[in-house]
Amino acid sequence: MIHLRRATAGLMMRGTDETSGSLFSYVDLEARIPARHPLRKIRQVVNEALASLDADFEVLYTDFGRPSIAPERLIRASLIQILFSVRSERQLMEQM
């Protein structure tokens, strides 16, 4: 029997929570949001809360299979949807 568990050079199936930078924009995202905007504080609080949940998320994922979207990204997207009263996930993806 073939053992399906393979550690692909340390690759875990939990997606990474990295930003892609300026993929389609020449203006830095940090420059678009004013320094004193309330979203900056919300982002800081959310990032701290998600960092404290890192170990809990890690045990939920296996080391084989297809990589997922990082749970942190999904939670942030849901928060944006709630904060901006976006009615559906489809509209959220269009607006993002």
For residue 9, what pLDDT band results from cuts at 50, 70 and 90?
very low
Q: What is the average pLDDT value for the chain, to the nearest integer?
A: 80
**30 or 79, greater pLDDT:** 79
Over pLDDT 70: what percentage of the chain? 76
Q: Counting beta carbons within 10 angstroms of the beta carbon of residue 14, is it exposed (0 to 12), middle (13 to 18) or buried (19 or more)?
A: buried
Instruction: Supply the pLDDT for residue 64.
Output: 82
Q: What is the pTM of this model?
A: 0.68
CB count within 10 Å of CB 72 equals: 20
